[in-house]
Amino acid sequence: MSLLNLAALERSSRRPRQGTAQRQQMTADVLGRVIACAWRVGGGNDAATVLTPGTLSARILAHLESLPDELRTVLHIDHRVDGDEIEEASQLLVGAQSVGVLGRLNPAHTTAVVRADALQAYALLDAYEAEFPAIVAWARKVAQG
The predicted-structure confidence for 59-88, as pLDDT tens digits, reads as follows 899 999 999 999 989 999 988 898 888 999
Of 61, 64, 63, 68, which is closest to residue 85 (Cα–Cα)?
Answer: 61
Scanning the chain, the segments in alpha helix (DSSP H) are 6-13, 28-42, 53-62, 89-98, 118-131, 133-144
- Return the SS3 of 89: helix
Could you tell me which residue, 37 or 13, shows the higher pLDDT?
37
pLDDT of residue 20: 45
pLDDT class for 19, splitting at 50, 70, 90? very low
The whole-chain average pLDDT of the chain stands at 79
pLDDT class for 137, splitting at 50, 70, 90? very high
Share of the chain above pLDDT 90, in %: 25
Helix (H), strand (E), coil (C) string for 30-44 = HHHHHHHHHHHHHCC
Please provide residue 43's backbone torsions phi and psi, each rounded to the nearest 5 degrees: -85, -5
Question: With 90 as the cut, is the pLDDT of residue 133 above it?
Answer: yes
Would you say 97 and 84 are in contact if contact means Cβ atoms under 8 Å apart?
no
Instruction: Count how many Cα atoms sit within 13 Å of the Cα of residue 40 in the half-sphere of its side chain.
Output: 26
- Dist CA 56 CA 31 (whole Å): 11
pLDDT class for 18, splitting at 50, 70, 90? very low
pLDDT class for 7, splitting at 50, 70, 90? low
Question: With 50 as the cut, is the pLDDT of residue 141 above it?
Answer: yes
Average pLDDT over residues 12-28: 63
Please provide residue 82's backbone torsions phi and psi, each rounded to the nearest 5 degrees: -90, 10
